[in-house]
Structure 1
């Protein structure tokens, strides 16, 4: 069976073609969107899960995989014994269950949000690439199994959405590394054929279905990890073609998305409670770096540095030299209890709430009882202004590269509904008609329609 698969930075979704068009598949508790998160009581349990799933399906592939992960697998009996896990317990969760496990046990286990954000990272070693393959494989295996249970059919062919660029740096080498990781993972999960499509193009293909006349469309897709623009000729004259390269006038993309807006708000408006902006007793300002590291949950190296034992010692030493030690003590709590994701979650909730309301009360009681911070719409605008400017620059670049003006701007993605973004785009691009698609479903629908076209 053929599916479109949005393995997104914020959420994952799958779609199939039904009698009434695209149907999104329920992936957890009758919801069609599953948060892109994974939690394991120990990172070796990710490898264990993949190995067991392969052994149940393909003995030859399982043997090759187990040989490549022999050192990790040899350590599992002791790890399971220490954790008190039986052989029937995976110790692994994805989606909302992973978030719940992390909130309940932040100091224990391994938690990753938006793993796709790391796949194109520059300078990854072979061991790190292998581990990201394992994370993606474990997630795709579970998602595929849930979808097959719903559909009562095996999924064999898929088109997976991808950003124009996985990283701001690294170029095509980063893009190839990321698509290789996803291809390996999808095939280990049991897909026989795997193809990719730019996410903004997928959203555009979904929008094209509704057009009664040809238009030049600038698709602006604000995803969780990236912002991408595709300038496409669409309409009845183009619809149904399986080769569309000549219709794609330009692309632009950058690794800046909804997660970065959450991080920016968290850093600028929540980190001052943990000492950002404070002074040392010498009168010099506190360095910004540890506060940025705490919030930058989509940067593997910065997170590793923040949670390192050497940083723990540095923060404890700094405690004696700051003018407001009670604030820095909160940052030490964040570091020791691994609370960075929870802080950025409050930033995300603030971004969502402030798209409709004037104020948001961030609840930081997980750091210190009774700790909270009120954030206004104006403060959100100040915090994310630089990110919005970069997104507008991508849209202007796509228009410039296409060397023509769009008839319409089609906005999609989780952060595309932000009034601040729309106002900034209008200021940068002028009075081009602008409309919102299904902020979460357009990409999945387009991937599903494209998959049907190329695999049928």
Structure 2
């Protein structure tokens, strides 16, 4: 039986995987024929049975009693990883939760391969945590330990933008100097790399990789900016209360704008605080909606509405965001211009980090032959425009935006383990 390895791209928003043997590298349908699976889990309130991906999201959107979890990757390397969380009244460790999700991917890969798989290359961002080497090292160590729990005997890691480059390398002609722009849900990572079909089987690509940079900004952060600009005002964000016209506390709104924090809001302390301020609120109608969200635990519906709006605005100039779960017929008109203004600082930071990568590589923007866009955030029009302006001489490739990292990781695993 030939040695088979796999590549797993455990993403903040979506995940993908591929398997490799000596002859072929193949992307695996992660869920019901789809090349990607949302990095989401749903635990039924009764029995705590776990569901994954689109099924998890559908159960949540159908208002099935239970707990939805997303953005699990963002807890790696942080203090929250050790603390764990309460799921339907039961304490659960995050390593067990993440292992359960990744086992779903491993099982799918083994089903397609027809045998067990003991070798894996796992993707990782350039920085799990910005400006904290200790936390960054902890995150990789935690992910390696989780891989061991799954039964992998050999585990290697590769930077996600480098993996995306490997996936594109099979299709290019000649040699290209490429900048990989990997904008995921949690991080933005960049690599300047020399690509050539002659290098596909090389096990050591150190000399071809000229620069790596990354920043902990991704699609979830753009969602948060959009939420605070266009969604949270529907719940009284930045409204005032009392005789001194004080601004209502903002922390509730900021936490409601992040998948990884929203579950921690549903407690009696927060509900009591909002009830107390509601009596003094100058915008009772809107502020009462915040109370309803906390009492009915519908924060994830707000996040889903924000995500729906972001996706719609990649195609439309204006979108009517529905809030029927709050009040029948309630909606808010949001323009792409408003979205662009909300994320302006984040996009600027992303482009600065990309240019830092080019500088680190010792080349100029005009030397880049190919810009490889990967990750769902590269669908945002203002982001695409930014990179077209930064690299006017480069060809832009955006094939397989959501699955190229998983495919490239499998190429890497073949070279390391075959």
Q: Calculate the TM-score normalised by the size of structure 1.
A: 0.83
Distance 1:127 1:347 in 2: 28
- 1:126 and 1:348 map into 2 onto residues whose CA distance is 29
How far off its partner does 1:429 sit?
5.2
Following TM superposition, by how much is the alpha carbon of 1:424 offset from its aligned partner in structure 2, in angstroms? 2.1
Residue 89 of structure 2 corresponds to none
Question: Are 2:32 and 1:29 aligned?
Answer: yes
Bigger strand fraction: 2
Partner residue, 1:164: 126
Match of 1:103 among 35, 54, 61: 61
Give, in whole Å, the separation in 2 of the partners of 1:154 and 1:420: 44
* Separation in 1, partners of 2:235, 2:130: 29
1:177 and 2:138 matched: yes
Coordinate RMSD, CA, aligned: 2.2
Once the two structures are superposed, the pairs formed by residues 86-97 of structure 1 within 5 Å of their partners are 91-97=49-55
Q: What are the Cα deviations for residues 115-160 of structure 1, in whole angstroms up to 9, with x where unaligned?
A: 0111122x34744398121111111222222332333221221111
Output aligned runs, 1:68-87, within 5 Å.
83=46, 85=47
CA apart distance, 1:414: 0.9
Q: Deviations over 1:404-434 (max 9, x none)?
A: 1223221111121222102123445555443
- Say if 2:339 is the partner of 1:380: yes
* Corresponding position of 2:329: 370
- The answer to whether the aligner puts 1:410 opposite 2:369 as a matched pair is no
Residue 316 in structure 1 maps to residue 275 in structure 2: yes
Q: Which residue of 1 aligns with 2:88?
A: none
Equivalent in the alignment of 1:359: 318
Q: Which residue of 2 aligns with 1:9?
A: 12
Match of 1:224? 185
Structure 1 alignment gaps of length 5 or more: 43-82
1:109–1:397 Cα change, 3 Å: same
CA apart distance, 1:317: 0.7
1:349 aligns with 2:352: no
CA contact (8 A) 1:227 1:253 kept: yes
Pair 1:153 & 2:111 matched:
no
Is the Cα–Cα contact under 8 Å of residues 19 and 113 in structure 2 kept in the other structure?
no
CA deviation profile, 1:47-98 (whole Å, cap 9, x unmatched): xxxxxxxxxxxxxxxxxxxxxxxxxxxxxxxxxxxx4x4xxxx611111222
Q: Which residue of 2 aligns with 1:56?
A: none
Pairing 1:258–2:219 present: yes
Structure 1 residues 171-180 or 424-433, which shifts more? 424-433
Structure 2: segments with no counterpart, 5+ residues: 86-91
Map 1:390-401 → 2, pairs under 5 A: 390-401=349-360
Contact 1:396 1:429 in 2 (8 A): no
Decide whether the 8 Å contact of 2:42 with 2:69 is kept in 1: yes
Q: Is the 2:211–2:357 contact (alpha carbons within 8 Å) kept by the matching residues of 1?
A: yes
Question: Secondary structure of 1:321's match?
Answer: coil
Counterpart residue number, 2:236: 275
Distance 1:177 1:319 in 2: 43
Q: 1:439, 1:246 → 2: CA distance? A: 26
Residue of structure 1 equivalent to 2:71:
114
Q: Are the equivalent residues in 2 in contact too, given 1:252–1:395 (CA < 8 A)? A: yes
Cα distance in 2 between the residues matched to 1:195 and 1:367 = 46
CA distance in 1, matches of 2:263, 2:213: 28
Stretch moving more, 208-217 or 18-27: 18-27
- The 1:252/1:184 distance shift into structure 2, 3 A limit, reads same
Q: Distance in 1 between matches of 2:109 and 2:205?
A: 29
1:436 to 382, 398, 402: 398
Q: Which has the larger helix fraction? A: 1
Which whole-Å CA distance do the structure 2 matches of 1:421 and 1:395 have between them? 12
How many residues align? The count is 405
SS, match of residue 375 in structure 1: strand
Question: TM-score with structure 2 length normalisation?
Answer: 0.90
CA distance in 2, matches of 1:133, 1:182: 8
Equivalent-residue separation in structure 1 for 2:363 and 2:81 (angstroms): 42
Alignment check: 8 A CA contact 2:81 2:95 kept: no
Q: Which moved more, 1:257-266 or 1:90-99?
A: 90-99
Contact 1:294 1:335 in 2 (8 A): no
